[in-house]
Structure 1
């Protein structure tokens, strides 16, 4: 998954402003207690990070 696809899905799920806030502030256990931004900066694949988002939030099937 490319980062552009990842951010597109984040924006569809949360809206642009809230997506940025979730990525910066929300700690996700499935990412080792890191935020989305931290996990991506550490080199985690966008696909793995998106899977953690899907597992954590109520993401509609069309975005999974």
Structure 2
């Protein structure tokens, strides 16, 4: 997962509340940091996305492949 895919996944899943979650929700799985802090510290976007999904109770079915664009035809 790239940073741009992480941003799309957050927007798609959380909408207008996404930026607040990324800035404010503390994620245990990435060292007790927010998603923004974890990304700035070099934690992989996929790992941050997984931690965010756990903390925000995102259903498993909506976690995999999130943030990817539809393939060009």
Count matched residues.
Answer: 63
TM-score, normalization: structure 1?
0.86
Cα-Cα RMSD: 1.2
Going by fraction, where is helix more abundant, 1 or 2? 1
Which structure has more relative contact order (CA 8 Å, sep 6+)? It is 2
Confirm or deny: 8 A CA contact 2:50 2:63 kept in the other structure. Answer: no
Moved over 3 A (4+): none
Question: What do the CA deviations read for 1:16-48 (whole angstroms, capped 9, x no partner)?
Answer: x31111011111111111000000000100011
Q: 5+ residue gaps in structure 2?
A: 65-73
